[in-house]
Structure 1
Amino acid sequence: MTHAHLATIILTIILFCITLTLQKKGRDTTVLHMILRVFYLLLVLTGVLLFFSVFKITILYILKALLGIAMIGLFEMILVGSREGKKIIGFLFLCVLILIVTVFLGLKLPLGFHPFS
């Protein structure tokens, strides 16, 4: 299940970047945005399955889950704000920061890969 979650994360980030880039160019991204929302659901589903497959749930797992949900919220806020012509640089900075912390936690926790061990 870890590989499915990781693949969904990577595809979601790539699809988010493509949608944001096309949106900045003035193209209609309604279909891409809807596909991205389906990937959000897949991401949450695989995350929940991983969360409940843990033998002992610690505060780090809860923090990673909350940061993952915040990440999805930031993706939506960035895309909607960009569509409406608002400044999104603060959200992008926060998004990158939360992404770095979430990836670090995902790699540090026992269910992930162990490059830091």
Structure 2
Amino acid sequence: MDFLTNQTHLHITTWVVGIVIFLIAALSGKQSKGLHMLLRLFYILIIITGGALFIKGMDYGQGMLYGFKFLGGIFVIGMMEMVLVRQKKNKPTTMFWILFAVFLLITMFLGFKLPMGPMNFFA
């Protein structure tokens, strides 16, 4: 399982692809059943790679911040799913889009700020 934690590239690739698929599925409307199923596969990959990085993150002595990042990532996935499901049922999605953006920004900020982040923007 070392290939999951050597670098953060696998995790970053999965969430970037997941967000792109989410945006395509959300913009395509109701005819996105296949994309929605593909996105659910990427949810699993994101959680597996993020969980492996979370476990490795305990070595840095900042477990609480890594825990907040992990929870933020779960909330981002939850909001993505809520937007797509509510969109299919023709229910309002504005609140979930806003929560998606807020949780995504918080999670990305923590991801870049913490020691295992790919770049240290906030040194």
TM-score over 0.5 for the alignment?
A: yes
TM-score band, normalised by the shorter chain? over 0.9
Task: Determine the structure 1 residue equivalent to 2:34.
Answer: 31
Query: Aligned partners of 2:55, 2:95: CA distance in 1, in Å?
Result: 33
For structure 2, the 5+ residue unaligned runs are 1-6
Runs of 4+ in structure 1 over 3 Å off: none
1:8 aligns with: 14
Which residue among 94, 99, 117 is the counterpart of 1:94? 99
**C-alpha separation between the residues in 2 aligned to 1:57 and 1:40?**
25
Percentage identity across paired residues of the two chains: 39
Q: Which amino acid aligns with 1:12?
A: G
CA deviations 1:8-64 (Å, max 9, x no partner) are: 1110110000000111xx4x2111100000000000000011011120342111000
Structure 1: give runs of 5+ residues left out of the alignment.
none
Could you say what the CA RMSD is over the residues aligned between the two structures, in angstroms? Answer: 1.0
> 84, 89, 92: which is aligned to 2:89?
84
What is the distance in 2 between the residues matched to 1:72 and 1:97? 12
Which one of 21, 36, 39 corresponds to residue 27 of structure 2? 21
TM-score (norm 1): 0.93
Q: Please give the TM-score of this superposition, normalised by the length of structure 2.
A: 0.89
Distance 1:116 1:45 in 2: 27
What SS does the aligned partner of 1:19 have?
helix
Would you say how many aligned residue pairs link Structure 1 and Structure 2? 114
Matching residue of 1:109: 114
